[in-house]
Amino acid sequence: MKRVFIDFCIVVLVAISSSCNIDEEIVKELDKGDFYRAKTATSKPDWNKVYEYTPAPGQFINELKTGGFDGTQTTPEAAIAYAEKRMSEVDNNGNPYPNWVSLGGFGGYIVVGFDHSIDNSGGYDIGILGNSFSGSSEPGIVWVMQDENGNGLPDDTWYELAGSETGKPETIQNYAVTYYRPSEPKQPVKWTDNQGNSGEIDYLLQFHRQEYYYPLWIEADSYTLTGTCLQAKNYDASGNGSYWVNVEYDWGYADNFSPIDRLTDEDNAGAGANANHFKISDAIDANGKPVELKYIDFVKVQCGVNAKSGWLGEVSTEVFGFIDLHFE
C-alpha cells in the first residue's frame, strides 16, 4: 500500500493504439441492440453509480483516518455509499478531486456503471485512476459487462480484459481465497486458498489500529473471493525488510505503473491519481478466447495479487475513479 498521498492530479490521456490487443479467433459478438444506451446532452464521462464494493480484508478497511471510514459502514449499502462519496470528492473550488478506495488483499473488488453505454472503438475506451508510481504497483484485474438482459444491473456475464500476464503459466485462473473473521480485535486475518495454501493479512499496529481489518458489513464469519491471480513481483530490495519494491507489470492492469497504458512518461513521484487506459477489444471469455463486445455498461476492478510487502502490508489495489475516454 502506498503511504505517500500528496496532491492528487488526474491525468487522463485519450489515445488510440493497437499494440495490446490479442490476435486470436473471436468467439462471441454482442451487437448493439435494444439495451444500448446512447450518450445524451447530459451524459458525463465518468462513472455515475457504484453497484458493489466488496474488498478483501486489509489495513485500510474500516480505518477511520486515511481510510475515510466512520464506523457506520455496517451494511453493503453503507459501504457502497462510502465508496461513492470517496470517488466523488471535490476541491474548494468545486472541481473533481476524487479520493482513493482500497480493495484490500487479493480478490477485493468494486463494480461501477455509467449513465450511457461505452462503445468499443478498437482503441483505448476506459480510463481507471489509481495511484501507482515507480516501484509501487498494486495491479487490479479489469472486467467488463454488457447489460444483456436490459435490467440495468450488473448481473450478466463478466469478461476479463486481457493483460500482459494473460496466458502465462504462472497466472492462475479461478483462484479463490477464503478469509476468516478474527475471533478477537486487533488480530491478523487468516486465509486459505484453493491451491492448498494459507496465510494472513497482517495486523499493522504501528499504522492502522482499527479493531478489525475484516469488513464490518460482511455478516458471515468467512467469505470467498474468486478471480485471476498474477504472480507477485514484489521484493525486499534492502535485504533487511526496510525497503520493499512492488514491480510494475507491462500493461493491462489498474493501479499499475505501466510503461505502455499509462500513456505518459511522468513519474508520478507524488503518488497522485493517474490513469491506466483499457481497450474493450481486449475482452476474453472464461476460456481465454477473445470476445467482441460492441459496447459495455459496467466495469469491475479486482485486486489481482495475493502478496504482502513486510511493514507496508498487503498488496492492495486502489482506485479513484472510472472514465469513458470517448469524451473530449
Residue 266: HSE in the Cβ half-sphere, 13 Å Cα cutoff = 18
Whether residue 188 lies inside any domain: the answer is yes
Whether residue 84 lies inside any domain: the answer is yes
pTM: 0.90
Whether residue 6 lies inside any domain: the answer is no
Q: What is the grid cell recorded at 220?
A: 458471515
Give the model's pLDDT for residue 30.
Answer: 52
Whether residue 11 lies inside any domain: the answer is no
Into how many domains does the chain fold?
1
pLDDT band with cut points at 50, 70 and 90 for residue 188: very high
Exposed, middle or buried: residue 294 (CB in 10 Å: 0-12, 13-18, 19+)?
A: middle
Residue 5 has pLDDT above 50, yes or no: no
DSSP 153: S
Residue 266's domain comprises: 29-324
Nearest C-alpha neighbor of 271 from the set 260, 254, 251, 257: 257
**Listed range (32-41, 115-124, 170-179, 213-222) with the worst mean pLDDT:** 32-41
Whether residue 4 lies inside any domain: the answer is no
Whether residue 21 lies inside any domain: the answer is no
Whether residue 282 lies inside any domain: the answer is yes
Whether residue 304 lies inside any domain: the answer is yes
Whole-number Å distance between alpha carbons of 30 and 317: 30
**Listed range (17-31, 69-83, 96-110, 248-262) with the worst mean pLDDT:** 17-31
